[in-house]
Amino acid sequence: MAGRPAVSSARFQRSETARAEAFSDGVFAIAATILVLGLAVPAHPAGGLGHALARQWPAYLGYLASFSYIAVIWLNHHQAFVRIRTMNRGLHAANLFVLFMTAALAFPTEVVADAVQSDVWGRDAKVATALYAGIAAALCLSWVALYWRLLRCPGLLEKGVEPAYVRHGLIRSAVGAAVYCTVGVLGALVTPPIALAAFAVLPAFYFATSEGLPTGRRAADQGPGPDA
């Protein structure tokens, strides 16, 4: 219509990160809190509470592994978003993919706890560990999507972001997906306890590298050279 001011399409393509960060923090908090619902007072005869509680060790291990994983995801998410200046539709979609997979983690956690408590060496335990590994690997792939979007759209990043940060994030996420898939295969074909141990330990790797791989951190700490 004549005389009507034109509306820039950019306003529909870019947005600030505040709302996405607030929504993401809420999803992470709920996903972590839901995990505790898998810890319940076990049925037991009189005088048998101690044995019943001890028999629930898979539930405790699952809670530890998944809470640690979500906590590290939240930390990595924070480290990523302090480097992101603005968001486009593709980055919003990648972020929602991360949240979608994070929220799903409570399901395989409870499946693993139930199956392993019944028979740690049984077929159900093997299927359960494969399920957990598959969802954990998909969660890693959601981070691949997020870092790939940042790699394709460097204008979304703040100025002065470490040159290797996004590339290292891609590597870490891809390696994590491969490791979880390998662990799932070992748990399904060899023995579930191998997978259970890996599920508990792997979040430590992501915590240690939350600001990038060691070489990337050293380069960032050293800053630009004298000719920069």
Question: Is pLDDT of 93 > 90?
Answer: yes
Instruction: Give 5's pLDDT tier (boundaries 50, 70, 90).
Output: very low
Q: What is the pLDDT of residue 228?
A: 33
d(CA 170, CA 178): 12
Tokens read off for 182: 């390998």
DSSP helix/strand/coil, 161 = coil
List Cα–Cα distances, 189 to 125, 171, 186, 222, in angstroms.
11, 27, 5, 46
Query: What percent of the residues of the chain are helix, what percent strand, and what percent coil, each to the nearest 5?
Result: 75, 0, 25
Domain range summary for the chain, segments of one domain joined by +: 17-35+53-213
List Cα–Cα distances, 14 to 10, 56, 96, 141, in angstroms.
6, 48, 16, 24
The lowest-confidence range among 8-12, 43-47, 124-128 is 8-12
Q: What is the mean pLDDT of residues 73-90?
A: 94
What is the per-residue pLDDT across 205-228, written as a single tens digit (0 to 9) for each? 878 876 665 654 554 444 444 333
Cβ–Cβ < 8 Å for 130, 188: yes
What is the per-residue pLDDT across 141-182, written as a single tens digit (0 to 9) for each? 999 999 999 999 999 999 999 889 999 999 999 999 999 999
Average pLDDT, the chain: 86
Question: Residue 124 corresponds to which amino acid?
Answer: D
How would you classify residue 161: left for phi > 0, otherwise alpha for psi between -120 and 50, otherwise beta?
beta
What is the per-residue pLDDT across 19-41, written as a single tens digit (0 to 9) for each? 999 999 999 999 999 999 888 88
